[in-house]
Amino acid sequence: MNLRQAFLRHVGQTSEYPMCIEVEYAKGMYIYGPGGKQYLDMDSGISVSSLGHRHPYVIQAIKDQLDKYLHTMVYGEHIQAPQVRYAVQLTALLDKSLNALYYANCGTEAVEVALKLCRKATGKSKIISCNTAYHGSTLGAESLRSDTSYTMHFQPGIPDVHHIRFNDLDDLDKICSKTACVILEPIQAEAGIRLPKGDYLKKVKQRCEDVGALMVLDEIQTGFGRTGHLFAHQSYDVVPDVLLIAKGMGGGMPIGGVVASKQLLDTFIKNPSLGHITTFGGHPVCVAAAIATLEVLITESSIIAEAQKKADYLVSKLTHAFVKEIRYAGLFIGVELVNKDMIEPFILHVIEKGVLVDFFLFDPCSFRIAPPLIIDYHEIDKAVSLMNEGFKFLESLDLV
């Protein structure tokens, strides 16, 4: 049995048709398979590898922490310097109201923590989520999805979840005095990169304030420079009550977090205590990687500052007639094609040629480009040239 066969037989799968790209090694912008097959990563493992693969500063930080300690106790009991240091560093870069960080293992756990926190802090149960949002895959996070085509066999989800249409001001009336929280992404990712219109996010926040609900912003994909700002909400002049982070946070290591005021996070500590517990949340090796990632993003300020310019350049080159619309903020890009039947053959062809792009969960008409932020112009040219080859391939299929 070769590796591929063993993978399909013994590793739990998420679909009948996994990409099956065999990974031997990854560095910088590239993932390598057997025989030196090279893939230019234009997806960052879904907005994770913002500094590219195995950034040397991150690797060194991981190695240094390995020599000190790994797990010592379930989260919250021991004072671990990396956890303290990162919470201080990160919150110093945010609005002063966001002054404390609760660590989680991943994005979905951060979402679960936020839902529990908001229900407990407000004493209310109603949760509002947006249509075509994706917040993770546990039962609580799945309950936030509007479309039940993927989740119908897990129903019922958690009760009292209601949906509003993203960018629809009329729907804000559904946020009422019974609402514990509104959870939304500042830019909807899996809906195909849908940007908020005008001051939509500010209006959501205002409505939350008016009725006594908490605003939770899920920046799990948009965070850590992806959109050309450390966090997307900073460019929309809005401060959430709760900020969710993961993915790009760990430089390739699994970690997530919930940022809020210390007062709000302290809701978990009494009446009763242990509002949320996690064994591995904030694992010291992952936090060491997060510290290194943040330090690189801040000290090499051009990485974030140039994301928009690089994206403008990339987008200006994708001019084929099959491109219907490109939506983007920084290197967070959705490319809509004129015919949804083009998406799958395009993505598969381009991957075969050595460029990793990806599907969106809820937008069958678009494909995703979200490369490491360290991409240079030569690599953009290379990716664009192979994508243009992909459009030529589509021409040969006669799909229009």
Ligand X SMILES: Cc1ncc(COP(=O)(O)O)c(C=O)c1O
Which residues in this chain contact ligand X in the complex, by CB under 6 A?
46, 106-108, 111, 134-136, 185, 189, 218, 220-221, 246-247, 256
Question: Which residue's CB atom is positioned nearest to ligand X?
Answer: 107
Two tokens at 291?
């510290």
* CB closer to ligand X out of 28 and 256: 256
CA distance 380 to 42: 9
Distance (Å) of CA 236 to CA 94, 188, 280, 304 = 14, 14, 33, 16
Q: How far is the CB of 141 from ligand X (least distance, A)?
A: 7
Look up tokens 């019922």; give the residue.
156
Residues in Cβ contact with 379 at an 8 Å cutoff, skipping those fewer than 6 apart: 29, 40, 371
Count Cβ atoms within 10 A of the Cβ of residue 239 and give its class: 0-12 exposed, 13-18 middle, 19 or more buried.
Answer: middle
3-state DSSP assignment of residue 285? helix
Q: How far is the CB of 110 from ligand X (least distance, A)?
A: 7
* CB closer to ligand X out of 108 and 366: 108
* CB closer to ligand X out of 117 and 386: 117
Q: How far is the CB of 22 from ligand X (least distance, A)?
A: 22
Q: How far is the CB of 396 from ligand X (least distance, A)?
A: 33
CA distance 18 to 51: 25
Residues in Cβ contact with 139 at an 8 Å cutoff, skipping those fewer than 6 apart: 154, 157, 158
* CB closer to ligand X out of 135 and 207: 135
The total of other beta-carbon atoms located within 10 Å of residue 14's CB is 7
* CB closer to ligand X out of 250 and 390: 250
Q: How far is the CB of 370 from ligand X (least distance, A)?
A: 11
* CB closer to ligand X out of 107 and 225: 107
Q: How far is the CB of 238 from ligand X (least distance, A)?
A: 17
